[in-house]
Amino acid sequence: MKEYINSGSKDTRSGFGAALLILGRNNPDVVALCADLTGSLKMDEFAKTFPDRFFQVGIAEANMMGIAAGLTIGGKIPFTGTFANFSTARVYDQVRQSIAYANKNVKICASHAGLTLGEDGATHQSLEDIGLMKMLPNMTVICPCDYNQTRAATLAVANHLGPVYLRFGRPKWPNFTDPDQTFEIGKALICNEGTDVTLFATGHMVWNAIQAGKILETNGISAEIINIATIKPLDTAAVIRSVQKTGCAVTVEEHMLQGGMGDCIAQTLVRNFPAPVEMVGVNNQFGGSGKPEELLKAYHLDVPDIVEAALAAIRRKGGR
Amino acid sequence: MLTTEDLEKISCQVRRDIIRMVSGAESGHVGGALGAADFLVALYFKIMEPNVSRFTPDGIDEDLFFLSNGHLSAGWYSVLARYGYFDSSELASFRKLNSRLQGHPSTSEGLPGIRMCSGSLGQGLSVAIGAALSKKLNRDEHLVYCLLGDGELQEGQNWEAMMFAAAHKVDNLIAVIDCNGKQIEGPVDEVISLGNLSAKLEAFGWNVSEMYGNDMEDVVSSLKKAQWYTRQEQPVMIIMNTHMGYGVDFMLDQHQWHGVPPTRDQAAAALRQIPETLGDY
């Protein structure tokens, strides 16, 4: 199996903040808005360096989404920053009408997504945001896996014309992808080639899928590992091609099983190449308080859960 | 130079258009559109400097207008057509399949003159503020106008937007509240009273004035006065008192005419009260 080395754990939100600063320097049309979470979103350097292009909106996310939509009229490229829950569920109608339906060039940048937010608990752990955003026509949904990739994805979305939902997280997390990568929107990234099962993972869970792949390898199972960094538009060709080779799949995400990335994979396969799919995610439950690692264990998103799901998928394949 | 009478003639035709469009679609909102017709005509034909010959979504170097209460679409479409954004014959397609004149304003159909979708209430003021900030960043001296409904002020986002505009001194924006005192279920005062609206707006840090929206002379002079109030580090709001259904006696001040289309007979009766001034589409 291809070896991945953690060059030093970093939070993905800092990758976003670093890229936003670069964008500020390189593109005078880039503006940023934040709803009283500048520090949490790592937008403070941008705010300090470009005070005229940074708008503190206070704790008023609905207004932030509307102002961002308005800023595009005149050619600005607004990046909004708040937690994933407040970027989606709290402002769904504003995003739906003023951004998605109007097809405005707003980049909705959402931190603290998923269970790995940790102690703040269910009120702040967004496990529905991928589903909410992927259902909106015109919306692109991106969920990078580590600091380097979040940085690259942030740079990439500025050059994409149209609304984008960019999802990242709070905790320090292994940073293992190429620091000089160019992020290609809509492309599934093959982390490891294999033949027995495909592990489709997104966000923080890509690292966990790689760890699961290593364990599977010691058991003589060859796992193909694919990073679904863009959930919408989904790289359906890559999904189908891989499962045509491996014959079964596991999806892994820090999100509700009902409506997440796994649903997109399952739908693609059902319509094009029916094959056994096991899904690792949160099953119809709200989150809770705890350390990120404790929560991943408690909600069955840990490495052993992925290994078990892979074995189950392979068993089902054998029975066909 | 268009005189007050010229403008009144245009509003008259716009009112005919509204009745004919909604009646033709057997669906839509006549009451609010009739009440706000004079304002929309004054704004486009006298106050703003829209670049009608070359419509761009960015609207750089021209005044912009946002309609927050999107259910006034029939009135807005008529004014856009009569101003020259598109041929008035297209008004006949209002609310029909594959029309660019969707039930509520939409950008997805590419109708010239429209830069934002509206319909779900409470979002327009935020959008207008964003567009005004964009103008400031672009050093574009033109103004942004926004029309809101009074019932719509029950949506909390408006008050977030008002707080923001005052705090950030968004002073290149003129917002107008169409106070016809009516909403779907009845008088605004009975559904959820806005209380002392002008005191509230002033407390939120806006420059507040009032006008009578069904008197063309007052509308034009009040809007011109409001232009003088801009660029003084304070957002500008006009409380515009209007009558729902203005121009048709049996619709006047009747909240039942918020969103009910007139029957063929009712439409004919209404049209008898509104002379054809510029030619029906």
Give the pLDDT confidence score for residue B201 in this predicted structure.
Answer: 98
> Taking a C-beta distance cutoff of 8 angstroms, is the pair A201, A227 a contact?
yes
| Secondary structure (H, E, C), chain A | CCCCCCCCCEEHHHHHHHHHHHHHHHCCCEEEEECCCCCCCCCHHHHHHCHHHEEECCCCHHHHHHHHHHHCCCCCEEEEEEEHHHHCHHHHHHHHHHHHHCCCCCEEEEECECHHHCCCCCCCCECCHHHHHHCCCCCEEECCCCHHHHHHHHHHHHCCCCCEEEECCCCEECCCCCCCCCCCCCCCEEEECCCCEEEEECCCHHHHHHHHHHHHHHCCCCEEEEECCEEECCCHHHHHHHHHHHCCEEEEEEEECCCCHHHHHHHHHHHHCCCCEEEEEECCCCCCCCCHHHHHHHCCCCHHHHHHHHHHHHHHHHCC
Can you say how many angstroms the Cα of residue A37 is from the centroid of all Cα atoms in its chain? 20
- Residue B255's nearest CA partner among B178, B187, B189 is B187
Determine, for residues A63 and B161 on separate chains, whether the beta-carbon distance falls below 8 Å.
yes
Asked whether residue B279 is assigned to any structural domain, the reply reads no
Distance CA B240, CA B218 (A): 10
**A260 to each of A12, A95, A267, how far by Cα in Å?**
20, 18, 11
Asked if A75's CB is within 8 angstroms of B138's CB, the reply is: yes
DSSP label at residue B261: P
Question: What is the third-level CATH fold of A189-315?
Answer: Rossmann fold (3.40.50)
Cα B113–Cα B114–Cα B120 angle in degrees, nearest 5: 155
Two tokens, residue A67: 């102002």
- Show me where the domains of chain A are located: 10-173, 189-315
pLDDT tens digit string along A191-231? 999 999 999 999 999 999 999 999 999 999 999 999 999 99
Cα dihedral A111→A113→A119→A122 (10° resolution)? 130
User: pLDDT for A13-39, tens place per residue?
Assistant: 999 999 999 999 999 999 999 999 999
Q: Which residues of B touch A94 (CB under 8 A)?
A: 123, 126, 157
Mutate to test the interface with A, among B134, B140, B146 (most CBs of A within 10 A): B134
Extract the tokens encoding B125: 């003021």
pLDDT digits (tens, 9 = 90+) for A159-173: 999 999 999 999 999
> Where on the phi/psi map is residue B74: left (φ > 0), alpha (ψ -120 to 50), or beta?
alpha
Other C-beta atoms lying within 10 Å of the C-beta of residue A179:
11
A293 has catalytic annotation: no
Q: Which of B124, B129, B131 sits opposite A74 (nearest CB)?
A: B131
Same CATH topology for A10-173 and A189-315? yes
Q: Give the chain A residue whose CA is nearest to the CA of B120.
A: A97
Strands A277-282 and A140-142, bridge-based pairing: unpaired
Residues of chain B with pLDDT under 70: none
Q: Between chains, do B137 and A76 touch, taking CB under 8 Å as contact?
A: yes
Chain A: give the shortest CA distance to residue B60, in Å.
6
Determine contact, residues A41/A109, Cβ cutoff 8 Å.
yes
Give whole-number Cα distances, B91 to A37, A106, B75, B103, B203, in Å: 46, 32, 10, 12, 41
Domain residue limits at B60: 4-272
B64-67 and A277-282: which strand pairing? unpaired
| Residue percentage of chain A with pLDDT more than 90 | 99
Residue B65 one-letter amino acid: F
pLDDT at B49: 80
A chain contacts of residue B126, beta-carbon cutoff 8 Å: 62-67, 69-70, 94, 98
Mean pLDDT of the region A186-192: 98
Q: Give the model's pLDDT for residue A262.
A: 98
Tell me the HSE value of A277 on the side-chain side, using a 13 A CA sphere.
Answer: 25
Give residue B264's Cα distance to chain centre.
Answer: 26
How many domains does chain B divide into?
Answer: 1
Residues of A near B (Cβ–Cβ under 8 Å) read 31, 52-53, 55, 57-58, 60, 62-76, 78, 93-94, 96-98, 101-103
Instruction: List beta partners, residue B239.
Output: B177, B210
> What pLDDT was estimated at residue A251?
98
pLDDT, tens only, A225-276: 999 999 999 999 999 999 999 999 999 999 999 999 999 999 999 999 999 9
Alpha carbon distance B116, A58 (integer Å): 24
- Spatial distance between the Cα atoms of A36 and A29, rounded to a whole number of angstroms: 22
CATH number at residue B16: 3.40.50.970
Residue A67 scores a pLDDT above 60: yes
**A187 closest CA partner among A138, A155, A140:** A140
Residue A274 CA to residue A203 CA, distance in Å, equals: 25
> CA–CA separation, A23 vs A155, rounded Å?
7
Place A318 in a pLDDT band, splitting at 50, 70 and 90: confident
Candidate from A67, A97, A103 with C-beta closest to B129: A67
CB spacing of B117 vs A98 below 8 angstroms: yes
Fold of A10-173: Rossmann fold (3.40.50)
pLDDT in tens, B136-187: 999 999 999 999 999 999 999 999 999 999 999 999 999 999 999 999 999 9
Interface A-B: count of C-beta contacts within 8 A = 119
For residue B281, is it within any domain?
A: no
Give the pairing of strands A189-192 and A223-227.
Answer: antiparallel
Residues in Cβ contact with B235 at an 8 Å cutoff, skipping those fewer than 6 apart? B162, B165, B166, B169, B170, B171, B173, B175, B205, B206, B207
Phi, psi for A186 (deg, rounded to 5) = 95, 5
Tell me: ipTM over 0.95.
Answer: yes
Side chain identity, residue B150: D
pLDDT confidence of A320, banded at 50, 70, 90? very low
Q: Which amino acid is at B64?
A: L
